[in-house]
Amino acid sequence: MQTTQTTQKLFQLKLHGMAQAFEDQLASAHAQSLGFEERFGMVVDAETTYRDNARLQRLLRQAKFHVPASVDQVIQSPERNLKSSTVENLRTCTWIAKGQNLVMTGATGTGKTWLACAFGHQACRKGYSVLFQRLSMMLEDLKIARADGSFKRKIAALARYDLLILDDLGSSDTFLPEYREYLLEVVDARIGIHSTVMTSQYPVSRWHDYLSGGNPTVADAILDRLLSGAIIVELKGDSLRSKRVE
């Protein structure tokens, strides 16, 4: 009876990992042969593991990744212009700790979105908060927010993520003038504090013309914030869609 009450109290205290480990020990003759300190250490470890896993699942749900991806599945090859040293550097997530940006360009199907999600997933495993957004949809949301008065709140929310993935710059033929303002607000709120990933079919050399639309000053400001000190990966090669990479 006492053990049942103990288990119930652990669950009431939201110590689910400890509760399960306690029940497992009661059913294990080997565990009961161990000393108190060792058994107590085991239930504490179980609670730590439970909380780490729960936090990871919460971060993954919050991130809203476009595709499931893992850095362990990354295809590294000279043909793709994706070096193992680059992948290993990004895997460590030290670039996120430094607030460094990541830019990935390449033709359709070269794996930009998949890689962005893979590195985002790795960031979640390291405990960082991540959000994946199609750039076009984020800008549309900000346009609505500007109209309904929630713009500043939206910008503040986007600024809080340790890693913000903005996918597919250049997905439309034109970049509306108000979108330049919105994108500048986003990157300006994050510069030097949190990391941003930007993917695009356009090479970086074409970004200024695409973003300027007659206002090169704003384009200069956006690119200065995005590209200063950024890691730039220019993917090459044939489409990998047939291999289910993107």
pLDDT in tens, 1-21: 477 887 787 788 787 877 777
Question: What's the domain count of the chain?
Answer: 2
Residues 209 and 238 in one domain: yes
Note down the domain range covering 219.
Answer: 64-243
Residues 42 and 135 in one domain: no
Percent of the chain past pLDDT 90, that is, above it, reads 61
Percent of the chain past pLDDT 70, that is, above it, reads 96
Mean pLDDT over 93-109 rounds to 96
32 — pLDDT class (breaks 50, 70, 90): confident
Residues 52 and 74 in one domain: no
Residues 35 and 77 in one domain: no
CA–CA separation, 145 and 177 (whole Å):
16
Mean pLDDT over 35-58 rounds to 81
Q: What is the mean pLDDT of the chain?
A: 89
Residues 223 and 103 in one domain: yes
Domain boundary among 13, 40, 61: 61
244 — pLDDT class (breaks 50, 70, 90): very low
CA–CA separation, 133 and 130 (whole Å):
10
Residues 57 and 98 in one domain: no
Residues 90 and 49 in one domain: no
In this model, does residue 126 exceed pLDDT 90?
Answer: yes
Domain boundary among 34, 61, 88: 61
Mean pLDDT over 88-102 rounds to 97
Question: What was the pLDDT predicted at 240?
Answer: 65
Ranking 75-84, 211-220, 236-245 by mean pLDDT, the lowest is 236-245
Query: What sign does the CA torsion over 151, 154, 158, 160 have?
Result: positive
Question: What was the pLDDT predicted at 189?
Answer: 97
| 163-204 tens-digit pLDDT | 999 999 998 877 889 999 999 999 999 999 999 999 999 999
- The amino acid at residue 200 is S
CA–CA separation, 102 and 134 (whole Å):
16
CA–CA separation, 151 and 145 (whole Å):
5
Residues 42 and 96 in one domain: no
- In the chain, what is the straight-line distance between the N-terminal and C-terminal CA atoms, in Å? 55
Assign residue 111 a region (left: φ > 0; alpha: ψ between -120 and 50; beta: otherwise).
left
The CATH code of the domain that includes 96 is: 3.40.50.300
Q: Kindly report the pTM of this predicted structure.
A: 0.84
In this model, does residue 246 exceed pLDDT 70?
Answer: no
Question: What was the pLDDT predicted at 239?
Answer: 65
Question: What was the pLDDT predicted at 241?
Answer: 55
Residues 150 and 53 in one domain: no
Residues 182 and 87 in one domain: yes
Residues 170 and 91 in one domain: yes
Question: What was the pLDDT predicted at 245?
Answer: 42
Mean pLDDT over 42-48 rounds to 79
The residue written with tokens 């709120």 in the block is 189
Domain boundary among 43, 61, 79: 61
